[in-house]
A and B are shown apart, each in its own frame.
Chain A
């Protein structure tokens, strides 16, 4: 796949989720039109999707030509693509991409095109040709099934199941009975003398389907494709990864619960937001960022944590649809945002673009590619809104106490007068009774909370290379020693200040925590100094990986 197509893949996909593969389960009929409302209390407010203008004429034309009810064509297109001309992506060996609003794929595409007498290219790119190819294919499949009364929708069940390509029995049934048939019902108030859902005599009874363990608005469809998260912070969910199915909802979860697929996600959201499946408990590791996935371009920026795989600490959400589709249903985005809000609250996940990310192209020089299609801005905003996250009041910045420069220390001839000498890291500001030196290995810095005009800093390491703050006393004196620094989380928690008298005797050592209390004087103790040049040294010999800050030292009469 080229860079360009990747560029348009705003959301990167599991290796294809085209439905497929065998499965095992007994045919538990999932759902009927009511299932959506059961599954998601919030679905009631959504508007039913509307077919784009002009398409009904195409469906009608294809229906007349191939004797397939237009309602079936329209409903299949709704379930598969929400009537968008899509260009599916091959992300998984052996899986063909699906194309057009009818999501024709692989041999179906070629066969349908041949039956309709159109080229594969037209069936891929032209709406009418795509519909006609699908109609021709469905008609041929109906012949094989021996459907005599084409207006009997229920007779189409197996054809629709075959058309979907879904082999997981539950998912296939859900595709037929919980997706396509309800779409037919919704769009067909009356069919002949049959009204509404009565056209389906054998529509399955409402199933009692449990909600997912972590989200009440979901249906629990457990996938065996999960494993334990590592202990500790390495396995603490801290990110949500957004995927697209590259196919229909039922095909998507059907694939993800298939033990042979070897992939899963925690949640799947359908293409109208009316139903969400939970497949994996949030406290378990889902297999949604595939090992076979090549992310030289698409690698998720935040997909590694402490050298562990991204599945360890992420929660994956699949969305029915296609990364390249032109737009996303607002209700689907809304339902997903609501889900993500719930996840972020339950798992204490930061709600921002760095923690709610596309499984998408990730340029090593950059972070996420929001891509042209997924509405990241409104999606993140909706998540914040659901979490009632109000902007924090803009606090008046704490007025930084403007450090009152002490009066210039003058050599005090009166031994009884109070002493206050400040030794600044900027030696040019020091009087004749103060001096400051550092080696070339120290680096200058400045910041809003520094003393006067800046400071020196150096990384901690196993050498002393002290910054030396010297001051001259005419007579011995007992003085308080204060130090000033610019704090930060990367400062040494035990910056070693060593206090020397003029005889070069070390009269004290104080380990200061420079991660805190920056921008103010911090008392190191009271010491007896001698006449002459005494000094306070700040060594860099401390636990590695931090810095010590030499900004200013003050000595003063207690």
Chain B
């Protein structure tokens, strides 16, 4: 039987694929529910927990962090940073234990440059003040070690773009790469022993893997067109990445094993009629699904697509007015939040993994984006497959 909120999602805002739950319920109810998230909570079969941190555009295009309970409710500030501080704050990445959030603060300089720094914000008492860590430079794409003691990121601090490792306890920064053509988009493996990344050192963007201290860089891909944005499956056996190697696919999601073998396009979507641009990919916590944003190059918008991580078959997809993007998984792997662009506004929305139960959490009046779903202590968590324990020395 359809719950009200589920019918909302199906009828008003979401196209379901393969799960047969579409509904013809009236849209009045759906709008009411969408604007009253508490109703959705009351009727939801699986309570959602935790909170969703996101960026909200404030005056002068400055970004500020806010959060909302994943079940809905009022929007609250995350930091106490005043607007006249002159920089934007972005939700870079929650720590693996979800107790803190890495905040990226970005100040606009002349000629299109930014001066960025990281801050670590404890999530127990919000709003709070991020504690500055690491260098000041242009900083991008941070990735946490699984134990939260260090992170890697890319920066132009000393070169076009290279990768660095920041140790939290000592504050020391270790440069991991050194190539004038650039190194990008690091992703720490679930066992903390490897870093997958992109390098153009051989004249073309390819996926590499190196040790967590910068050793044994090994090239995994040899494709015409860019290979980019590698991510690890939770058990560490698979690397997913974007590739432009097959022109008719556009920039699509590919997978390979951690040694670079068995490279193949993942998505098996018979409804696809043209090339796409995929981005924002992430594995669900238990590794069963992958979510990503699928854009249509001709500008017809895009949506969040959820696929089976093994078969690549589409489980569900969202279809909004403009572009649904930036999916983020709930800690139990049963829900996703994403940003729903609509005209001049953007909302934070939430769905179940099967595409049902769409709830728009924010009011439709602001520009809210870059959601990050952060667990709290009450949250059940998916049990990710355990990577093999790291060997010592």
Closest chain B residue, CB of each to CB of A486? B215
- Inter-chain contacts of A354 with B (CB < 8 A): 161, 182, 184, 198, 200, 205
Which of B27-35, B69-77, B224-232 is found at the contact surface with chain A?
B224-232
B116 at the interface (CB under 8 A from A): yes
> In the complex, A2→B179 CA distance in Å?
37
B213 and A443: CB pair below 8 A? yes
CB A178 to nearest CB in B, in angstroms, measures: 29
Q: Are B214 and A547 interface neighbours, CB within 8 A?
A: yes
Q: B247 contacts which of A289, A304, A378, A459 (Cβ < 8 Å)?
A: A378
The reply on B84 being an interface residue by CB < 8 A is no
> A390 to B247, Cβ gap below 8 A?
no
A300 touches B112 (CB 8 A): yes
Check if B239 is an interface residue, CB within 8 A of chain A.
no
- Give Cα distance in the complex from A545 to B158, angstroms: 12
CA distance A143 to B299 in the complex (A): 40
B178's partner among A392, A443, A490 (CB-CB below 8 A) is: A490
Which one, B37-45, B135-143, B281-289, is touching chain A?
Answer: B135-143
Q: Which residues of B contact A306 (CB under 8 A)?
A: 156, 158-159
CB of A389 within 8 Å of the partner chain: yes
Q: Tell me whether A446 and B204 are in contact (CB under 8 A).
A: no
Interface residues of B in 211-240 (CB under 8 A from A): 211-218, 222-226, 228
**A490 interface neighbour in B111, B177, B279, Cβ under 8 Å:** B177
Whether the Cβ atoms of A304 and B205 lie closer than 8 Å is no
> Which of A238, A446, A489 is in CB contact (< 8 Å) with B211?
A446
B205 contacts across to A, CB distance below 8 A: 350, 352-354
Interface status of B301 (Cβ within 8 A of chain A): yes
- Flag whether A20 is at the interface (Cβ < 8 A): no
Q: Smallest distance from the beta carbon of A196 to chain B beta carbons, Å?
A: 34
User: With A and B bound together, what is the CA distance between A526 and B215 in angstroms?
Assistant: 28
Say yes or no: A394 contacts B222, CB within 8 Å: yes
How far is B159's CA from A378's CA once the two chains are assembled, in angstroms?
Answer: 29
Closest-by-CB residue of A relative to B163 is A490
Interface: A299 (CB within 8 A): yes
Q: Do B141 and A366 touch across chains, with their CB atoms under 8 A apart?
A: yes
Q: Is the CB of A390 within 8 A of B215?
A: no
**Could you tell me the distance between the alpha carbons of A355 and B228 in the complex, rounded to whole angstroms?**
13
How distant is B203 from chain A, measured CB to nearest CB, in Å? 6
Q: Which of A309, A393, A445, A457 has the most CB of B within 10 A?
A: A445
Interface 0/1 of A293-330, CB less than 8 Å to B: 11111111111111001110000000000000111000
Q: Is there a chain B Cβ closer than 8 Å to A438's Cβ?
A: yes
B391 part of interface (Cβ distance < 8 Å): yes
Complex Cα gap A303–B160 (Å)? 9
The residue from A289, A294, A350, A353 contacting B181, defined by CB atoms under 8 A apart: A350
Interface stretch among A91-99, A116-124, A202-210, A448-456? A448-456
A545-B250 Cα distance, complex, nearest whole Å: 40
Contact B61 A355 (CB under 8 A): no
- B214 and A391 within 8 A (CB): no
Contact B228 A444 (CB under 8 A): no
- Whether A3 pairs with B346 at a CB distance below 8 angstroms is yes
Q: C-beta contact mask, A321-359 vs B, less than 8 Å → 1, else 0?
A: 000011100000000000000000000001111110001
Give the chain A neighbours of B345 by CB distance below 8 A: 2, 4
Known contacts A7-B323, A376-B277, A377-B244: does B61 contact A303 (CB below 8 Å)?
Answer: no
Separation of A519 and B215 alpha carbons in the complex (Å):
10
What is the bound-complex CA distance between A471 and B226, given in angstroms?
Answer: 50
Decide if B214 touches A490 in the complex (CB within 8 Å): yes
Decide: A310 near B113, CB < 8 A? Known: A4-B345, A445-B193, A457-B213: yes
Q: Contacts A305-B156, A394-B222 known; A547 to B174 CB distance under 8 Å?
A: yes
Chain B CB within 8 A of A133 CB: no
Per-position 1/0 for A425-449, Cβ under 8 A of B: 1110000000010100011111111
Given known contacts A351-B204, A373-B299, A454-B392, A310 and B140 CB-to-CB distance under 8 angstroms: no
Contact digits for A259-299, partner B, Cβ 8 Å, 1 yes 0 no: 00000000000000000000000000000011101111111
Answer whether residue B393 sits at the interface, using C-beta atoms and an 8 A cutoff.
Answer: yes
Size band of the interface chain B makes with A:
35 or more
A518 part of interface (Cβ distance < 8 Å): yes
Q: Using C-beta atoms within 8 Å of the partner chain, give the interface range for chain A.
A: 35 or more
Verify if A380 is at the interface (C-beta below 8 Å from B).
yes
Surface stretch bound by A, among B14-22, B102-110, B120-128, B374-382: B102-110
Interface string of A1-44 (1 = CB under 8 A from B): 11111011000000000000000000000000000000000000
Residues of B within 8 A of A290 (CB): 111-112
**Would B156 and A304 count as touching, CB distance under 8 A?**
yes
A305 to B138, CA, bound (A): 9
Shortest CB-to-CB span from B187 to chain A, Å, is 13
Q: Knowing A364-B90, A364-B104 touch, does A296 contact B63 (C-beta < 8 A)? A: yes
Check if B172 is an interface residue, CB within 8 A of chain A.
yes
With known contacts A354-B182, A378-B275, A447-B216, A389–B204 Cβ distance under 8 A: yes
* Residue A520 lies at the interface, judged by CB distance under 8 Å to chain B: no
User: Taking the complex as formed, is A549 at the interface, i.e. its CB lies under 8 A from any CB of chain B?
Assistant: yes
B298 at the interface (CB under 8 A from A): yes
Contact status of A446 and B90, CB under 8 A, knowing A3-B346, A296-B108, A490-B175: no
Whether the pair A518, B390 counts as a contact (CB closer than 8 A) is no
Question: Which residues on A sit within 8 Å (CB–CB) of B182?
Answer: 302, 350, 354-355
Q: In the complex, are the beta carbons of A301 and B111 less than 8 A apart?
A: no
Cβ–Cβ contact A303 & B140, under 8 A: no
Give chain B residues whose Cβ lies under 8 Å from the Cβ of A377.
Answer: 225, 244, 247, 250-251, 275, 277, 297
- Report the separation of the CA atoms of residues A377 and B160 in the bound assembly, to the nearest whole angstrom: 23
User: Which B residues from 77 to 106 make CB contacts under 8 A with A?
Assistant: 87-88, 90-92, 104, 106
Chain B residues in 8 Å Cβ range of A300: 112
Q: List 13 A-B residue pairs with CB atoms under 8 Å apart, sorted by A's residue number.
A: A4-B322, A350-B204, A351-B204, A365-B90, A372-B297, A378-B297, A391-B222, A444-B391, A453-B392, A456-B393, A488-B215, A490-B177, A491-B215
* A residues in contact (CB < 8 Å) with B: 1-5, 7-8, 233, 238, 289-291, 293-306, 309-311, 325-327, 350-355, 359, 363-367, 370-373, 375-378, 380-381, 384, 389-395, 397, 425-427, 436, 438, 442-450, 453-457, 459, 486-491, 518-519, 545-547, 549
B residues adjacent to A (C-beta < 8 A) = 57, 60-63, 87-88, 90-92, 104, 106, 108-114, 116, 138-141, 156, 158-161, 172, 174-182, 184-185, 193-194, 198, 200, 202-205, 210-218, 222-226, 228, 244-245, 247, 250-251, 260, 275, 277, 279, 295-302, 322-323, 341-346, 367, 369-370, 390-393
Q: A295-B112, A296-B114 are in contact. List 18 more A-B contacts (CB 8 A).
A: A296-B62, A302-B156, A302-B160, A306-B156, A310-B113, A350-B182, A364-B140, A426-B392, A427-B393, A444-B391, A445-B193, A447-B193, A450-B211, A450-B216, A457-B215, A459-B172, A547-B214, A549-B213
